[in-house]
Amino acid sequence: MREYGNSKTNEWVNRLIWGDNLPVLEALIHDSQVFGKVRLIYIDPPFATNQTFRIGNGGRTATISSSDYDDHAYHDKILGRDYIEFLRKRVALLRELLADDGSIYVHIDCKVGHYVKVMLDEVFGQENFINDITRIKCNPKNFSRKGYGNLKDMILFYSKSKDYIWNEPHVKMADEEILRLFPKVDKNGNRYTTTPLHAPGETRNGKTGQLWKELLPPKGRHWRVSPEELDKLDKAGRIEWSSTGNPRRIIYAHEKVLKGKKLQDIWEFKDPQYPSYPTEKNLDMLKLIVEASSNPNDIVLDCFAGSGTTLVAAERKGRRWIGIDSSQAAIRVIENRMLFEGKFSPISVFRVDEDL
């Protein structure tokens, strides 16, 4: 066992565990600090590619290598039904480790992703499926094979229950998008747009169907707010009246731009150009996931830790973490990344056959 940083007795220490993740997860089931307390799990398991991944002796990897001088990272040799069963055993244990308000993200490719989803529906329940996120992973390429270019993989997002942690992520609006969505400019130079004051659905007896400023909502529609609220908006200068007397609500660009727009289920987080480990994922993407589905001091777990991007994201966002990988090369990469971070929480590095 190796330790980094200073820890106090009985204080949580982040764990980096070298070994087969199945017995490690089985051991964590009996750990009172972990069982039922993990708030977020992200895994990027092998994609059943039938390939061996290695790290070049220059310390970086961008391709699959077969050189005897390269450092073995991991084998991706489990295929078909064996692969789904391999994953199912681990996912079933991961579900037990999750808190009731926890969630899991499974990053997978399109060749096996649909089979994996059926398995996840079985383990977590189809009612706890949240999103199938499309991740654009690279720039367009000129493929020689017949078919469309492959730019994406998928992330399957599940919760343990309907009461899961969710911190709504928003993304910055591009300048051209602001110009398109907010085409008008007021006398003070503020960009804005207008929206109808009414919405579909007729209200016969409620306030939102009543007369306001000698106007009724159009047939089959109702006011979005009560006449009293409409008076307040009008008094505040938040209603624009057309030359024909049609009122519309004013929405200013700066109000929307500050918050950003709601993130959708198509993401563009491209892989690092010069990864330190095969299949290394985008750090900004992992930071987004960590922030969206956990809170500070929550436990984040990755049992296919690879390059440690999940752990770095958790560390930077003030979360506790557990990382597991069967590859010595992966453990070395993660240790080096944490040391490069400079300031990090205490870490214990275990070898499963010696320390657990």
Q: Measured between alpha carbons, how far apart are the two ends of the chain, in Å?
A: 10
> Domain check: are 158 and 297 in the same one?
yes
Exposure string of 270-299, with b = 16+ CB inside 10 Å and e = fewer, is beeeebbbbbbbbbebbbbbbbbbbeeebb
Domain that residue 224 falls in: 175-259
> Domain check: are 140 and 272 in the same one?
yes
Bridge partners of residue 14, in order along the sequence: 347
Residue bearing tokens 């453990």: 331
pLDDT for position 11 = 83
What is 253-278 written as a DSSP string?
HHHHHHH-EEP-SEEE-PPPSS-SST
> Domain check: are 119 and 237 in the same one?
no
Q: Are strands 51-55 and 184-185 parallel, antiparallel or unpaired?
A: unpaired
> Domain check: are 230 and 135 in the same one?
no
Is the alpha carbon torsion for 15, 21, 289, 176 positive or negative? Answer: positive
Number of independent structural domains in the chain: 2
> Domain check: are 17 and 108 in the same one?
yes
> Domain check: are 69 and 214 in the same one?
no
Q: Phi/psi at 83 (nearest 5 deg)?
A: -65, -45
Q: Is residue 244 part of a domain?
A: yes
- The H-or-E segment that residue 123 falls in is helix 113-124
pLDDT for position 13 = 94
> Domain check: are 43 and 159 in the same one?
yes
What is 208-245 written as a DSSP string?
GGS-BTTB-PPTTEEESS-HHHHHHHHHTT-EEEPTTS
> Domain check: are 20 and 100 in the same one?
yes
Domain boundary among 236, 259, 282: 259
> Do 278 and 263 contact (CB within 8 A), yes or no?
no
Q: Is residue 3 part of a domain?
A: no
In Å, what is the CA distance from 235 to each residue of 228, 230, 302, 305? Answer: 11, 9, 54, 57
Q: Are strands 71-76 and 51-55 parallel, antiparallel or unpaired?
A: antiparallel
> Domain check: are 29 and 131 in the same one?
yes
pLDDT for position 273 = 76
> Domain check: are 148 and 226 in the same one?
no
Residue 70's nearest CA partner among 79, 62, 82 is 62
pLDDT below 70 — which residues of the chain?
1, 5-10, 47-79, 142-143, 343, 353-356
> Domain check: are 190 and 120 in the same one?
no
pLDDT for position 79 = 58
Q: Is residue 329 part of a domain?
A: yes
> Domain check: are 28 and 49 in the same one?
yes
